[in-house]
Amino acid sequence: MKILRRYILKELAGPFLFAFVVTTFAFMAGNMIKLADLVVNKGVDLLSVGKLFFYMLPWLFTFTVPISVLTATLLTFGRLSSDNEIIAMRASGISLYKLVFPLIMLGLVISLISYELNDWILPRLRFETRKLIAQIGAKNPTAYLEAGTFIKAFKGYIVFIYGIDKNKLTNIRIYQPQEGRPTRTIIAQKGEIEYIKERDAVRLKLINGTVDEPNPKDPSNFYKLNFKTYFMTLDLREGRNLDFDKKKSDMSIDELSQEIKKLKAEGVNITPLLIEIHKKISYSFSSLIFILIGIPLALMAKRGEKSIGFVLSVFVIAAFYLLQLAGEALAIKGVMIPALGMWLPNIVFGVIGPVMIFWMAEQ
């Protein structure tokens, strides 16, 4: 029996590594483009970008490891079933329960490791990522700037820039919301940005544009003023205080529990924190759940083609995370308690999988 267990685990290893590399690369591709942009276009040093890359990996593993486990299970048992090896093993007197037992133990071990990752490592790395991004912004304000998005990193202003090339800007829109008065707007064809370290601010040189200036006779209204060159200074909001508070995703389960006690005493709604706790735990055990549902699906397919395994894995993953999103939405609205909402996909697949295994084992 030990030989068979080793054989099954060995067969599982190849598809798992293949799926892990492919999914991790796919998830990382978009982030790699953003990280490369920080180096090439925004002048951020390689050491800081390397740290960001390192901090992102554990977050990706929370998704890529369960997906890889499911894909490997489907491919491995699909091949064993199509080659009639499962039939041969069972004909030799080995029950299906004994065949799936090592995989279930493997799923449990991976889930316990994932629990430590989600509870201890990942929250700390998320918090370090936020601090590092703030530090990068303080040292190099162009890292805050992203073309085609509304930038709110500057105190009192909202900035929209169509084109950014290092410190060169093109087609700039700057909005200054004012209480009880119209929003002041500054438009420029191009410009340059320079960091003022002493003031923790940036100096903008705007070229060829218009600016709203208060009307001396009626300050509540503006008139348009054309300019060839216009200088303005914007304060960095986040660069001034790098000791910011932790978000709920930055906290461990113990920290979330302490925060719940404190907020509960103050009469504050603690549902988001309860959702976060159960999300961390339920995500951790998704690898075990995927093995439980993957084994019977692979045996039912009875085909060895990899395409079948990948199609089934996509279907199961989509259904699992859609159920998780639905459960979270229902928990936020108060229709479900947070525990049930976040454990909904685990419960559904965790019941269906063993029932199917039992049904097949008894045939």
Residue 8: how many CA atoms within 13 Å on its side-chain side? 25
Q: Which of 89, 73, 50, 233 is nearest to 155 (CA)?
A: 233
Contacts 24+ apart (CB under 8 A), 184-189: 184/212, 184/222, 185/211, 185/212, 186/210, 186/211, 186/212, 186/230, 186/232, 187/211, 188/230
Whether the CB-CB separation of 126 and 310 falls below 8 Å is answered with no
CA torsion, points 33, 34, 35, 41, in degrees to nearest 10?
100
Are 227 and 277 contained in the same domain? no
Beta bridge partners of 176: 184
Least Cα distance to 24 among 58, 75, 73 occurs for 58
Residues 6+ away with beta carbon under 8 Å from 66: 114, 283, 286, 287, 290
Domains identified in the chain, total number? 2
Statement to judge: residues 190 and 257 lie in one domain: no
Domain assignment present for 147: no
Number of Cβ within 10 Å of residue 156's Cβ equals: 11
Q: Report how far residue 107's alpha carbon sits from residue 115's, in angstroms, rounded to the nearest whole number.
A: 12
Q: Within this chain, do residues 222 and 271 fall inside the same structural domain, yes or no? A: no
Contacts of 235 (CB under 8 A, 6+ apart): 154, 155, 156, 199, 200, 201
**Which of residues 235, 264, 291 is at a domain's end?**
235
Residue 103, in any domain of the structure: yes
Are 277 and 347 in a shared domain?
yes
In a domain, 73, yes or no: yes
Amino acid at position 174, single letter: I
241 falls within a domain: no
- 271 inside domain: yes
Kindly state whether residue 240 falls inside one of the protein's structural domains: no
The pLDDT assigned to 144 comes to: 58
- Specify if 158 maps to a domain: yes
| Phi, psi for 41 (deg, rounded to 5) | -100, -20
The predicted structure's pLDDT at residue 351:
95
- 204 lies in the same domain as 282: no
Pair 304, 324 in one domain: yes
Looking at 212, 235, 258, the residue that finishes a domain is 235
**Strands laid side by side in the 181-196 sheet:** 150-151, 158-165, 168-178, 181-196, 201-215, 218-235
Query: Phi and psi for 221 in degrees, rounded to 5?
Result: -115, 160
For the entire predicted model, the pTM comes to 0.72
Whether 198 and 263 share a structural domain: no
Do 76 and 101 lie in a common domain? yes
Cα(213)–Cα(219) distance, integer angstroms: 9
Rounded Cα distance between 103 and 92, Å, is 20
Looking at the structure, tell me whether residues 129 and 29 fall in a common domain.
Answer: yes
Q: Tokens in use for 125?
A: 């790395």
pLDDT number for residue 253? 93
Burial call 50-62: b when 16+ CB within 10 Å, e when fewer: ebbeebbeebbbb
Q: Which is nearest to 334 in space by CA: 274, 259, 244? A: 274
Asked if residue 171 and residue 133 are part of one domain, the reply reads no
Domain edge (last residue) among 235, 270, 299: 235
Same domain for 113 and 257? Answer: yes
pLDDT in tens, 102-114: 899 999 999 999 9
Phi and psi torsions of 323, nearest 5°: -65, -40
Q: What is the pLDDT of residues 292-349, one digit of tens each?
A: 999 988 888 755 455 676 788 888 999 999 999 999 999 988 899 999 999 999 999 9
pLDDT tens sequence for the chain (363 residues)? 677 778 888 889 999 999 999 998 888 887 777 777 666 666 677 787 888 888 888 888 888 999 999 999 988 888 888 878 887 888 787 888 888 888 999 999 999 999 999 998 888 888 888 777 766 665 665 665 677 777 777 778 888 888 887 778 999 988 888 777 778 889 999 999 887 766 667 888 999 999 888 776 676 677 788 999 999 888 765 444 444 567 788 889 999 999 899 888 877 778 888 999 999 999 999 999 999 999 988 888 755 455 676 788 888 999 999 999 999 999 988 899 999 999 999 999 999 999 999 888 877
Task: Write out the residue range of the structural domain in which residue 349 sits.
Answer: 2-138+246-361
Q: Does 306 lie in the same domain as 256?
A: yes
Q: Answer yes or no: is 7 within a domain.
A: yes
Tokens matching residue 300: 């039912």
Which pLDDT score, from 0 to 100, does residue 238 have? 47
